[in-house]
C-alpha cells in the first residue's frame, strides 16, 4: 500500500503522520508511507485543506486530523480493496 501525507509541514500534518504510522503498525500493514510537501503537487490532487491523506493515488481525507480509530478504519477499507485493476482511471478522486 502506498500512503502519502499531503501537507506543508504544519503541526496537524505531523499529527496525521503519527496516526497513520501507528495505525499501519497496529494493523500489521506493509505500507510505504511518504509525504508530499510541494504545494503545487498537493493542489494537483484537488486538495484545498491540509493535511490530506492519499492512499494508492486516491484522496481519502482532507482538512482535519482524524482520530487513530478513524485512520485504522480508512486503512482497513483501503486494504480490503487493493488498488488492482479495478478503479477506472488513476485520476485522484474523493470519496
Partner 1 sequence: MLDWLADLITFRLLGLSPETRLAESVRYFLYDTAKVLLMLALIIYVVAVIRSFFPPERARRLLSGRSQFLGHVAAALLGIVTPFCSCSAVPLFIGFTEAGIPLGVTFSFLISSPMVNEVALILLWGLFGWRIALLYIATGVTVAIVAGVIIGRLHLEGWVEDYVYQIKMGETAEEVLTWPARHERALQFTTDLLKRIWPYVLVGIGIGAFIHGYAPQDFLVRFAGPANPLAVPVAVAIGVPLYSNAAGTIPIVQALMEKGLPMGTSLAFMMAVTALSLPEMVILRRVLKPRLIAVFVGIMTVTIIFVGYLFNAIL
Which three cell numbers mark 48?
Answer: 484545498
What sign does the dihedral 30-75-40-87 (CA atoms) show?
positive
Taking the complex as a whole, how short is the minimal distance between the CB of residue 36 and partner 1, in angstroms? 12
Count of residues touching partner 1 (by CB under 8 A): 26
The stretch near partner 1 (CB under 8 A) out of 19-27, 28-36, 40-48, 78-86 is 40-48
Strands 32-36 and 2-6: parallel
Q: Between 22 and 93, name the residue whose CB sits nearer to partner 1.
A: 93
Residues that bind partner 1 (CB under 8 A): 8, 10-12, 39-40, 42-50, 59, 62-65, 67, 91-95
Amino acid at each position: 500500500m502506498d500512503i502519502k501525507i499531503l501537507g506543508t509541514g504544519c503541526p496537524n500534518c505531523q499529527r496525521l503522520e503519527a496516526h497513520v504510522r501507528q495505525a499501519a503498525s497496529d494493523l500489521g500493514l506493509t505500507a510505504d508511507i511518504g509525504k508530499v510537501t510541494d504545494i503545487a503537487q498537493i493542489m494537483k490532487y484537488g486538495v484545498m485543506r491540509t493535511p490530506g491523506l492519499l492512499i494508492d493515488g486516491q484522496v481519502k481525507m482532507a482538512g482535519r486530523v482524524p482520530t487513530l480509530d478513524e485512520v485504522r478504519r480508512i486503512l482497513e477499507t483501503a486494504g480490503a480493496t487493493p488498488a488492482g485493476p479495478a478503479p477506472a482511471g488513476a485520476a485522484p478522486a474523493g470519496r
